[in-house]
Structure 1
């Protein structure tokens, strides 16, 4: 079953983090990605640009509203996603436990859905 690990952590620039902390984070993510790949569970991973680069759209009173920036008013950002294919939620939790942001942010686990059947999402298999 596919799960997406949504990596949330405080938004910071390279300058505010400092070179040492940035290098340490990059090493941690590289190691984590290599471990996922070596275990054969990595489907995809993507680092996202800072939330200031995002655009949020929604419909209000039949009109499209386009907002610069993220939907949530928070100091945390969704910094990246990792898609894994594992047998069950317990396995996804174990992989999320090993994700570097679990130490300085949060890792949200969300099951994937591949398509709809009669209007209902069907979980990935």
Structure 2
């Protein structure tokens, strides 16, 4: 089953050195997951200050700078993995370096027939 592991943390809580180390560890984790056939994708996101939100209400599009909601923790990246079950996904989430400072939300992917396959 595919799971999206959403990484949330306070982007201001990381020093530049900590962030570089986190990226290094994350790359190592992706290589291990790939070797096990579990890796489907991952990426850190640019800072929340670069975000743009789009809403459509009554047929009108509203575009605003910034994230949809103000929170203490921001969505900072993701891993998309193929795990045998939730316990397996939890074990992978616990290996994500950012889990030590933030939160990793695990969401099963709802696979819709007719969506184009990942490339």
TM-score under structure 2 length normalisation: 0.83
Q: Which of 74, 91, 107 is equivalent to 2:88? A: 91
Structure 2 partner of 1:115: 112
Equivalent residue number for residue 5 of structure 2: 5
CA distance in 2 between counterparts of 1:24 and 1:39 reads 23
Distance 2:90 2:19 in 1: 26
- 1:46-75 CA-to-partner distances (Å, cap 9, x unmatched) read 221111111111133442221111012023
Question: Whole-Å Cα distance in 1 between the matches of residues 33 and 75 of structure 2?
Answer: 20
Q: CA RMSD in A?
A: 2.0
Large movers: runs of 4+ above 6 Å: none
Residues 11, 75 of structure 1: 8 Å contact kept: no
Number of residues of Structure 1 aligned to a counterpart in Structure 2: 114
1:80 aligns with 2:39: no
Q: CA deviation at 1:81?
A: 1.1
Could you tell me how far apart the structure 1 residues matched to 2:61 and 2:113 are? 25
Where do 1:36-115 residues align within 5 Å?
36-115=33-112
